[in-house]
Amino acid sequence: MTSVAVAAEGLTKRFGDFVAVDGIDFTVAAGEIVGFLGPNGAGKSTTIRMLCGLLRPSAGRGLVAGIDVAADPEAVRQHIGYMSQKFSLYNDLTVIENLRFFGGIYQVPRASLPERLAFAISMAGLEGREERLVSTLAGGWKQRLALGCAILHRPPILFLDEPTSGVDPQSRRRFWDLIHSLAADGVAVLVSTHYMDEAEYCDRVALINRGKLIDMASPAEFKRTNLGGELFLVECRPLGAAIARLQDTPHLLDVAAFGNSLHVLVEDSAYDSESLTALLRQGGVEVSLAHTIAPSVEDVFVRMIGRTGGPH
């Protein structure tokens, strides 16, 4: 299997008594985008940091580009690009100075440097901003510059730790387009996020909770196998009374508020829109709309996190 870019085998990290990552197994193939989903503190960053050689695994091993990270972290580092959760470029340097710095650190040959710099700048959409101090750039530009710095040496493997946190939706969209074009060129991408909608952009998602890998599948499969029921969208008011009415009702699995409507999960074929509406009206709730919807990853996520226990 030469196409396996990253493999975690029983990867574990303990900080004292606290088990941050608990025996995780998974692989990422070349050209594949794998999304890490999970609540804060689930162990996403710790896993990525172990695979980058920043933290030493307590048990198990991580193979990156076929190299054991714990045994030879330096050899791994030539093959990877990393974007940390916290922005970690030099704010007191300009765009081009940051890029040149990482070009030097990764020993991009002098002859190909201008072309790589130009590529990174155009990819990040930073043309005309080369001489701007990074501290004066908005969040979306900074994230794209960080990605530009991370791919300057054309690494076959990218680790992106919550790259889009704090970035506006439009910039996030653009960022994902970039990730897709990199994956199309054969780059393996492991990306963590807490935006559930971003999970839909991944080839496979890995749900992590309390240091354990709960499930790993394509977004479609993930939704199909993990929801375990039918999902209804119900627009009604007051929401509080509706939730109170639906709780502890037989054959009803879960109720969650989404904005000013409800997502109601019921056992397959237990209810249809009419019976659900009737049930609510009995409780004095005014229902304006109730119909089945296709679940999002978020619906599945909320359901599964609820089932496996909340954040630490």
Could you report how far apart the first and last alpha carbons of the chain are, in Å? Answer: 36
* 70 lines the binding site for other proteins (CB under 8 A): no
CA separation, residue 81 to residues 145, 252, 274, 299 (Å): 13, 46, 53, 32
Nearer CB in complex with other proteins: 106/119: 106
Near other proteins by CB under 8 A: residue from 102, 141, 195, 301: 102
Query: How many Cβ atoms are within 10 Å of 310's Cβ, its own excluded?
Result: 9
**Shortest reach from residue 110's CB to other proteins, in Å:** 8
Give residues 206-225 in contact with other proteins (rule: CB under 8 A): none
Measured in degrees and rounded to the nearest 5, phi and psi for residue 271 equal -140, 155
- Pattern of binders to other proteins over 132-151, x per CB under 8 A? -----------------x--
CA separation, residue 209 to residues 36, 122, 127 (Å): 10, 37, 41
> Is there a cis peptide before residue 57, judged by omega within 30 degrees of 0?
no
Instruction: Tell me the site size for other proteins, rule CB under 8 A.
Output: 32
* 116 lines the binding site for other proteins (CB under 8 A): no
**Shortest reach from residue 218's CB to other proteins, in Å:** 29
* 73 lines the binding site for other proteins (CB under 8 A): yes
Near other proteins by CB under 8 A: residue from 88, 136, 218, 308: 88
**Shortest reach from residue 92's CB to other proteins, in Å:** 5
* 54 lines the binding site for other proteins (CB under 8 A): yes
Near other proteins by CB under 8 A: residue from 82, 141, 271, 301: 82
C-alpha to C-alpha distance for 96 and 128, rounded to whole angstroms:
11
Q: What is the DSSP letter of 302?
A: H
Nearest to residue 305, comparing CAs of 83, 37, 118? Answer: 37
Nearer CB in complex with other proteins: 55/287: 55
Cβ contacts of 191 within 8 Å, gap of 6 or more: 33, 34, 35, 36, 158, 159, 160, 163, 179, 198, 202
Near other proteins by CB under 8 A: residue from 91, 136, 181, 218: 91
Near other proteins by CB under 8 A: residue from 39, 58, 70, 87: 87
Near other proteins by CB under 8 A: residue from 21, 55, 205, 266: 55
* 86 lines the binding site for other proteins (CB under 8 A): yes
Answer whether 204's CB lies under 8 Å from 218's CB.
yes
- Binding segment for other proteins (CB under 8 A), chosen from 28-36, 58-66, 102-110, 118-126, is 102-110
Q: Which residue has the tokens 């695979």?
A: 51
Query: How many Cβ atoms are within 10 Å of 302's Cβ, its own excluded?
Result: 17
Give me the helices (H) in 59-128, please.
73-77, 95-105, 113-123
Near other proteins by CB under 8 A: residue from 59, 71, 105, 257: 105
Contacts with other proteins by CB under 8 A lie at 49, 52-56, 73-74, 77-78, 80, 82, 84, 86-93, 97, 100-107, 110, 149
